[in-house]
Structure 1
Amino acid sequence: MTTVAELLKLKDEQHRVPHTVSPEQMVFEVITLMAEKNIGAVPVVRDGKVVGIVSERDYVRKMELKGRASVGTPVSEIMTHDVKTVDSHHKVDQCMKIMTDSRLRHLPVVDDGQLVGLLSIGDLVKEAIAEQARLIEKMQEYIRGESY
């Protein structure tokens, strides 16, 4: 099974290193960034450490549905504080379990206390499909007698 480190290497340059924001930045800045970069979540970092994550879901639930203004509200007021993370040694299936059990769509990757990547559920599903295709190919080779 593929590791998170291997999966991060497969991501294109634009998505390999995640965009981050600070807790003091205004929500408007974050939603503008997410819209411009077509991303669904942004890790919140202070002094190089992940202290939260803010997602489109956070914005809708904590801002729009409550009629709050994004211009004057700091990210710290709407971010998810209890962030689940993985490290680069985790396997894709472990990440899928964490995301499924916790109903998450994004999972920060942290090595030695530093943010090194961000996985989306789409990244994991893509890799699971590719892994399945590789397994099917190996089985077909075995059936045809091409591999032992």
Structure 2
Amino acid sequence: MKKVSNILARKGSSVIAIDGGTTVLDALKLMAEKNIGSVVITEDGAYAGLLTERDYARKVILQGKSSLETQVREIMSTEFPKMIPENSVETCMHVMSENNLRYLPIFRDNTMCGIISISDVVTETILSHEETIEQLKSYIQS
């Protein structure tokens, strides 16, 4: 059974992080530049939450707030399940599906050590299935 650590080993564990006082517009520019759908928000250098495209759409645009004046700490999401590298990919898939999440922060010893997306989970599942298929083909041919 594949684990979150497999995903982090494949994609890396570096994350893009910004301070909670950053304006939403600056955060969106960074996300567009890096071609990412979420960014880690920090307060005093420690993990505080995530800002996602969904947060922007629902908490800025739909509420008529200004992207130039609103700080990311005002709209970031903070209620994510604490996942660890030892969690299975299947567990993450279940948690993401059950909670309608697209991103999960990963923690080791209460320190954030990476972030995974639903795309990462799907990719890892596909790779795992392809590996199983190749093993079965090899077994049948031998």
| Shared fold (TM-score, shorter chain, > 0.5) | yes
Measured against aligned partners, the alpha-carbon deviations of 1:39-70 in whole angstroms (never above 9, x if no partner) come to: 00112122443221110010011111222111
Most deviating of 129-138 and 16-25: 16-25
1:122 to partner: Cα distance: 0.6
1:54-69 maps to which residues of 2 (within 5 A)? 54-69=51-66
C-alpha separation between the residues in 1 aligned to 2:63 and 2:22? 20
Divergent runs of 4+, >6 A: none
Give 5+ residue unaligned stretches, structure 2.
none
Query: Please, what TM-score do these two structures have when normalized by structure 2?
Result: 0.92
1:88 partner SS: coil
C-alpha separation between the residues in 1 aligned to 2:37 and 2:18? 13
C-alpha separation between the residues in 2 aligned to 1:116 and 1:47? 17
Query: Please, what TM-score do these two structures have when normalized by structure 1?
Result: 0.88
Most deviating of 32-41 and 132-141: 132-141
2:10 — aligned with what?
10
1:43 partnered with 2:40: yes
1:70 partnered with 2:82: no
C-alpha separation between the residues in 2 aligned to 1:85 and 1:36? 28
Report the RMSD for the aligned CA atoms in angstroms.
1.4
How many residues align? The count is: 142
Give 5+ residue unaligned stretches, structure 1.
none
1:119-134 maps to which residues of 2 (within 5 A)? 119-134=116-131
1:98 to partner: Cα distance: 0.9
C-alpha separation between the residues in 2 aligned to 1:2 and 1:47? 34
